[in-house]
Amino acid sequence: MRLWISKNSEVPIREQLVTQIVLGIVSNDLKVAERLPSTRDLARRYDIHANTVSSAYRELARRRWVEFRKGSGVYVRARNDEALDDGLALDQVIARFFRNLREEGYSLAEIQAGVQRSFSMQRPDHFLLLEPDPELREILVAEISKATNVKVKGAGPEELDGVLTGAAPLVLYGHMDSFADRMQPKTDVLVLHSASVVERMRGQTRPSHDALVAIVSRWPEFLKWARTMLVAAGLDADALSFRDARERNWDKGLRSAAFVITDSLMAPRIPAGCEVKVFRVLAESSLNEIREFEERYF
């Protein structure tokens, strides 16, 4: 089977490999039990990085299109496998689409350009939160999900291959550097801002001097800045109990606290009977921007 690899395309090479191999299987260009080229051979043939080929093969194996045979190589799986990828029907439709266009005389380059134009004209169907810190990413996704009716996903720098399609990207101010070299220069990204200390503390009542206050989060930075703010607000450091929710028994004795300060992700997981105060990471102005974007473009 011949592959067409464009190194100047917006479509990542890994995704080009995965898509073309799947199309080769569903169109029967690649037969059941046929051995695919080795990672090294394919990388050398198309002058691409071996890690890219390896990543594509792992994705195909995850989707159960191919299988790794120890000491032998990568082979096409049987198509009647009951556990075949759930996207089989869609892949077959796409394969027919490509086959019909090729029969009409269009080259793969022309088809790819046309598909890309079509994608560029489509409205986004979800928000994509770009954030390198996985714990903060989950918190921000939780906050944005509460502010909008649109699906929200998250991605780190190493997960960008293929995930920007159909997405409206969001990123926290100052965090774009981790993604800059992995995105097209003209990609529109909505930049979000954190809530100020004043905004986070607004409306919070000061507990009594001897009250125990618990702070709960899976994100270490949340625990750090909560400590700084609360001590600055005059609370006794000895009256603060910090709970890293990644650790076992983080919720033990939590009901003895006067109230629990936590983030949007952990708030639903705090035991019943606790008074909960949620400190949001994102500024209200940024959440309003997201709502306005939703109304305008979704």
Range of the domain at 220: 197-278
By percentage, how much of the chain surpasses pLDDT 70? Answer: 91
Q: Name residues whose C-beta falls within 8 Å of residue 62's C-beta, 6 or more positions apart in sequence.
A: none
Q: Are residues 28 and 113 in the same domain?
A: yes
pTM: 0.62
Q: Are residues 65 and 101 in the same domain?
A: yes
Q: What are phi and psi of 125, to 5 degrees?
A: -120, 0
Scanning the structure block, which residue is given the tokens 């603060």?
240
| pLDDT tens digits for range 195-254 | 876 676 677 676 776 789 999 999 999 999 888 878 877 788 889 999 999 999 999 999
Query: Residue 177 CB: number of other CB atoms within 10 A?
Result: 10
Residue 6 lies in a domain: no
**Cα 89 to the chain's mean position, in Å?**
25
Q: Does position 119 have pLDDT exceeding 70, yes or no?
A: no
Residue 150 lies in a domain: yes
For residue 28, the domain's CATH number is: 1.10.10.10
Residue 4 lies in a domain: no
Residue 7 lies in a domain: no
Specify the pLDDT at position 84: 46
Q: Are residues 149 and 292 in the same domain?
A: yes
The answer to whether 258 and 213 are in contact (CB under 8 A) is yes
Q: Does position 276 have pLDDT exceeding 60, yes or no?
A: yes
Higher pLDDT, 131 or 297: 131
Q: Which H/E stretch holds residue 127?
A: strand 126-130
Residue 2 lies in a domain: no
**Cα 45 to the chain's mean position, in Å?**
32
Q: Does position 33 have pLDDT exceeding 80, yes or no?
A: yes
Distance (Å, whole) CA 135 – CA 245: 11
Provide the pLDDT confidence category of residue 82 given band limits of 50, 70 and 90.
very low
